[in-house]
Amino acid sequence: DVVMAQSPLSLPVTLGQPASISCRSSQSLVYSDGNTYLNWFQQRPGQSPRRLIYKVSNRDSGVPDRFSGSGSGTDFTLKISRVEAEDVGVYYCMQGTHWPWTFGQGTKVEIK
């Protein structure tokens, strides 16, 4: 199975400051159709996961533009340009290229 390694696992951030989460896969996530199925999810405390970004860099409807995704191949990043209080939670990367789909361990974002 493809292993998704996130770092850091814990990320204390000051309100208004940027945050960055790295996700590395054990294999290339480029699928035979040319797409890279790397997705990012946010899970706020007590809530279901919510997708933020799909196929590396496409923001879901309603997701603030302070969230952005980038990367290619095996190396990906989720950035929050200015962290707000509502961004507290756990963030997961997930690959949908190689079955079974797999998630990273999660990165807990908290306010300092």
Query: What is the β-pairing status of strands 89-95 and 10-13?
Result: unpaired
85 SS3 class: helix
Write down the least CB distance from residue 82 to other proteins, Å: 25
Q: Is 20 in the site for other proteins (CB under 8 A)?
A: no
Per CB under 8 A, which of residues 36..75 are in contact with other proteins?
37, 39, 41, 48-51, 54-55, 60
**Residue 64 preceded by cis peptide, ω within 30:** no
Site for other proteins contains 34 (CB under 8 A): no
Assess 78 for contact with other proteins (CB under 8 A): no
- Minimum separation from the CB atom of position 66 to other proteins (A): 20
Partners of 36 in the beta sheet?
30
Q: Which of 44, 42, 49 is nearest to 21 (CA)?
A: 42
Residue 85 touches other proteins, criterion: CB under 8 A:
no
The answer to whether 30 contacts other proteins (rule: CB under 8 A) is no
CA distance 43 to 88: 9
Per rule CB under 8 A, is residue 99 in the interface with other proteins? yes
d(CA 97, CA 56): 12
Residues near other proteins (CB under 8 A): 31, 35, 37, 39, 41, 48-51, 54-55, 60, 92, 94, 96-97, 99-106
